[in-house]
Amino acid sequence: MAVVRKNILSDTIVRDNFIRGVKLLKAEDSGRRTNQFGIPGPARVVSTYDLFVVWHHIAMTTATPVSNNPGGRNAAHRGPVFLPWHRVMLMLLEQNLQRVLGDANFGLPYWDWAADGDLSPAQQRTAAIWAANCMGGQGAPVATGPFAHRAGDPAAWRIRIVGTSTGQLAAVDRGMRRMFAGGTPSLPRRAHVANALNLNFYDGPNWDSGSQGFRNRIEGWTADTNESAPWLHNRVHVWVGGDMSPTSSPNDPVFYLNHCNADRVWERWLTRYNRAYAPPQTAPGSLRGHRIDDGIASPFGASMTPRQVLNVGAVYSYDVLP
Ligand SMILES: [Cu+2]
C-alpha cells in the first residue's frame, strides 16, 4: 500500500517518528568503514545515516561525463537526473526509516519552504520548523532541538563525515552547524514555485546548470523575477547554511525535508505534463548517467532508472500538491 507523505508541521506523530528514525539510523552500523571510502585517519564505523552522506558526496564529485564536463554536470546535480536521483535517495531513506521504526506506513515528511518564504525575513528565521520540538534552531553548533550539540552526551547528534572544499571526504566529530540567511536573505516564495510549474518542458541542451526548463529552475540555477541567485532548491540549502552547504549536506536532516518538498513540486509537474522526461536513451554517451534508462547506483545495492521513478503512485503520494 502506498504511503502518504505529509507536511512535517501538520502531523506531530510523523514529525517525531522522522526525528526518532534518523537518530536510529545514525546509531546503526552500516557495515562499512571510513577507510573503504578513502577517508584519512583510523578506520571508523560509517552509520547507515552517514552512508547516505557519503553517497551524496561521491555522486556530487563524479563528473558526467567523467572525461570532459564543461557544464559542471555531475552524477546527481546540474543535469536531468537531479530529480530522479534525489527521488531514489529519498525512497531508500524512507525504506530504511520504515525498517528501523518498524512502521511500513511511515512516509517521509516535507517542509513547505515556500510557505515560510512568504513570511518576513525575520519571521522565516523563527518559523515553526525551527522550534525545539521540530528541527531546532541555528548556531555553530546548533544549540536547540533534537539535533543540538550537548557536550558529553553520546546520544547527541554528531557530524562524523564531511565533504571538504577540495572535493575530498574527511572524518570529523563535532556538533551540527546552521546559519540562517547567511548566504541569501530569504527563502523561495510560493510565486517562484508557481512560475517553475508553468515551465512546460523538462530539460534541454546543454543539459547542465545553464539550460532552460523545469529541472534547472527547481534545482535553482536559472533566474526567477526580481530575486538574486540562488533560487528554489539551491536557495534553501544556502539559506539554512552551515552543514547544508557542502557536498555532505545530507548531514542535516533538513536536507531530506527540503528534497522531499522539491520532489513534491516535481510530482505536481509530472501530473501536469504527462510524466515527461528527457533526454531519451538514444541521446549521446556524453549524457550517460542522465538518460531515461541509465541506472542510478546506490551503496544499498539497488539501482533504479529515471523511467522507473516517473510514476511512483504505488509507493507513495503527497497529502497536498502545490
Ligand atoms: Cu543533492
> What is the reported pLDDT for 191?
95
- pTM value? 0.97
Q: Give the Å distance between the CA of 77 and the centre of ligand 1.
A: 6
Count of H helices and E strands in the chain?
9, 8
Ligand 1 mean position, distance from CA 131 (Å): 25
Q: Which residue has the cell 517542509?
A: 111
Distance 138 CA to ligand 1 centre (A): 21
**pLDDT per position as a tens digit, 231-289:** 999 999 999 999 999 999 999 999 999 999 999 999 999 999 999 999 999 999 989 99
Whether residue 14 contacts residue 6, with contact meaning beta carbons closer than 8 Å, is answered with: yes
Q: What is the pLDDT of residue 155?
A: 85
**Ligand 1 centroid – CA 151 distance (Å):** 30
The answer to whether the beta carbons of residues 149 and 157 sit under 8 Å apart is yes
Q: C-alpha angle with apex 50: 49 to 56, nearest 5 degrees?
A: 105
Q: How far is the CA of 205 from the centre of ligand 1 (A)?
A: 21
Distance 194 CA to ligand 1 centre (A): 22
Quickly state the pLDDT bin for 179 (edges 50, 70, 90).
very high
What is the per-residue pLDDT across 43-96, written as a single tens digit (0 to 9) for each? 999 999 999 999 999 999 988 876 666 568 999 999 999 999 999 999 999 999
Cβ(288)–Cβ(258) under 8 Å? no
Cell of 2: 502506498
| CB-based contacts of 112, cutoff 8 Å, min separation 6 | 7, 9, 261, 322
Range 23-32 average pLDDT: 98
Task: Summarize pLDDT for 180-199 with one digit per residue, the tens.
Answer: 999 999 999 999 999 999 99
**CATH T-level fold of 3-310:** di-copper center containing domain from catechol oxidase (1.10.1280)
Give the residue carrying C-alpha cell 570529523.
Answer: 172
Query: Do 113 and 124 meet the contact criterion of CB atoms below 8 Å apart?
Result: no
- Using the mean position of ligand 1's atoms as its centre, give its distance from the Cα of residue 100 in Å: 24
Residue 4 amino acid letter: V
Tell how strand 159-163 and strand 169-174 pair up.
antiparallel
C-alpha of residue 89 to centroid of ligand 1, in Å: 9
Tell me how far the alpha carbon of residue 264 lies from the centroid of ligand 1, in angstroms.
Answer: 15
150 pLDDT band, cuts 50/70/90, is confident
CA distances from 305 to 81, 84, 206 (A): 9, 8, 21
Q: How far apart, in whole angstroms, are the C-alpha atoms of residue 120 and residue 185?
A: 10
C-alpha 59 – ligand 1 centre gap (Å): 8
pLDDT above 80: residue 226: no
For residue 159, name the pLDDT band (cuts at 50, 70, 90): very high
